[in-house]
């Protein structure tokens, strides 16, 4: 009689057989919770039309389930020893629709895909998420450190509202799906984790006083700088935050920027209102508005 062994047992067995000691610095926290694995796979609503990108497959805990349900899986693993273990495991299981790439997912070019499913290495959460959003895809189901996930989804005026929330706002819809506790992994991380759904947003313009303004790459670049500068002083009035972080928006001279902002305030009551508000109380739309109004005056 074959007994179905638990995911925890199976994982430990594979690691032991290969003499692997997981490296926390590489974000190696392997999922051993079968129920959470099922949930993650369900959230992805896979069909045989889907090509799934997976970052950090490890020994294949998600990969094998993804391969059963999707047409094709592309999995990028940086650790060469782990990569080789997974390669052998897939061969042994007769799984032939997984393309394994041995490399740093932040650096390698992504092939085409339409979904992403990953239990991410947490140390690359930020760069990898922004890299995802440069690609065209339908849906991503991603595990992050809970605190990071909360900041992705931070609402205006709350402690979680951050540079990350404002930067993602125009690029993706972020939805919290489920919490995962440290015991669901080996080794157990010190923090809780969250599974999050991302769907790309395609916001092309914003209306300011009945006039439509494009949010093109150039505008988003200005917005990125303004957001970065402002959130360095999130509790200050946005005008003071911009002045204090003036180097980020291209100014050395405090007086010069102050004069420009004062002028703009005098010309436009909307600018005045926005510059008087504290950063954490300005919605992403308001910061975008301000960025557009300031755009021609920044360097
Ligand atoms: N998906 C597996 C493993 C998650 S741990 C599971 O759920 O059990 C994260 C994995 O990402 C580790 O195997 C680690 O070696 C790998 N990794 C870390 N940094 C990486 C990077 N920059 N690019 C690709 N993989 C990376």
Among protein residues, the one with the nearest Cα to ligand 1's atom 12 is 28
With the most atoms of ligand 1 within 8 angstroms of its CB, the residue from 14, 27, 89, 124 to mutate is 27
Nearest-atom number in ligand 1 for the CA of 121 is: 9
Q: Could you identify the atom of ligand 1 that is nearest to the CA of residue 63?
A: 1
- pLDDT tens digits for range 190-237: 999 999 999 999 899 999 888 899 999 999 999 999 999 999 999 999
Residue 61: is its pLDDT beyond 90? yes
What SS3 string covers 115-144? EEEEECCHHHHHHHHHHHCCCCCCEEEEEE
Please give the pLDDT value at position 1.
45
For residues 124 and 83, give the distance between their C-alpha atoms in angstroms, rounded to a whole number: 18
Q: Which tokens go with 16?
A: 């032991």
Chain segment 150-199, per-residue pLDDT in tens: 999 999 999 999 999 999 999 999 999 999 999 999 999 999 999 999 99
Q: For the chain, what percent of residues have pLDDT higher than 90?
A: 91
- Measured from CB, residues less than 6 Å from any atom of ligand 1 are 26-31, 55-58, 61-62, 76-79, 82, 104-106, 119, 121, 124
Per the CB < 8 A criterion, the answer to whether 218 and 202 are in contact is no
Q: Helices 269-276 & 284-294, crossing angle to 10 degrees?
A: 130
pLDDT number for residue 236: 97
- Using CA positions, which residue lies closest to atom 5 of ligand 1? 28
* pLDDT of res. 5: 79
Closest CA to 148 of 133, 126, 169, 131: 126
Is residue 29 within 8 A of residue 187, CB to CB? The reply is yes
pLDDT at 4 exceeding the cut of 80? no
Question: Ligand 1, closest atom to CA 31?
Answer: 8
Report which DSSP code applies to 75.
E
Give pLDDT, residue 209.
83
pLDDT of 2 higher than 80: no
What's residue 202's pLDDT? Answer: 86
State mean pLDDT over 124-128: 97
Residue 262 has pLDDT above 80, yes or no: yes
What's the chain's average pLDDT? 95
Cα-to-centroid distance, 96 and ligand 1 (Å)? 21
pLDDT tens digits, 22-42: 988 889 999 999 999 999 999
Residue 147 CB neighbours (<10 A): 13
Asked if pLDDT for residue 48 goes beyond 80, the answer is: yes
**265 Cα: distance to centroid of ligand 1 (angstroms):** 49
**185 Cα: distance to centroid of ligand 1 (angstroms):** 13
Report pTM. 0.94
| d(C-alpha 98, C-alpha 281), whole Å | 46
| 8 A C-beta contact, residue 156 and residue 169 | no
* pLDDT tops 50 at residue 71: yes
- What residues does each domain of the chain span? 7-200, 205-297
Q: Which pLDDT belongs to residue 25? A: 83
- CATH number at 7-200: 3.40.50.150
Ligand 1 centroid, distance to 28 Cα (angstroms): 6
Q: What is the mean pLDDT of residues 43-63?
A: 98
- Provide the CATH topology of domain 205-297: Helicase, Ruva Protein; domain 3 (1.10.8)
Ligand 1 binding pocket mutation candidate from 78, 84, 85 (most atoms within 8 A of CB): 78
């Amino acid at each position: 009689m074959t007994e179905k062994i638990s995911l925890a047992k199976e994982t430990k067995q594979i690691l032991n057989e290969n003499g692997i000691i997981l490296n926390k610095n590489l974000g190696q926290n392997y999922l051993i919770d079968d129920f959470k694995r099922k949930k993650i796979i369900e959230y992805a609503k896979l069909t045989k039309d889907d090509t799934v990108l997976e970052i950090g497959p490890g020994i294949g805990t998600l990969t094998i389930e993804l391969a059963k349900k999707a047409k094709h899986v592309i999995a990028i693993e940086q650790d060469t020893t782990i990569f080789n273990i997974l390669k052998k495991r897939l061969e042994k299981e007769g799984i032939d629709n997984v393309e394994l790439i041995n490399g740093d997912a932040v650096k390698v070019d992504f092939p085409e895909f339409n979904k992403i499913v990953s239990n991410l290495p947490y140390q690359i959460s930020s760069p990898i998420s922004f890299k995802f959003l440069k690609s065209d895809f339908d849906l991503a189901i991603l595990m992050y450190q809970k605190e990071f996930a909360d900041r992705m989804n931070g609402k205006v005026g709350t402690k979680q509202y951050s540079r990350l929330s404002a930067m993602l706002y125009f690029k993706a819809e972020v939805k919290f799906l489920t919490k995962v506790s440290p015991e669901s992994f080996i080794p157990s991380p010190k923090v809780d984790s969250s599974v999050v759904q991302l769907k790309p947003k395609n916001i092309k313009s914003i209306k300011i006083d009945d006039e439509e303004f494009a949010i093109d790459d150039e505008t988003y670049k200005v917005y990125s700088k303004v957001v970065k500068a402002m959130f360095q002083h999130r509790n200050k009035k946005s005008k003071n935050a911009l002045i204090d972080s003036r180097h980020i928006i291209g100014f050395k001279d405090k007086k010069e920027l102050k004069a420009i902002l004062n002028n703009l305030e005098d010309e436009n009551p909307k600018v005045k209102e926005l510059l008087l508000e504290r950063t954490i109380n300005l919605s992403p739309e308001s910061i975008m508005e301000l960025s557009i109004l300031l755009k021609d005056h920044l360097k």
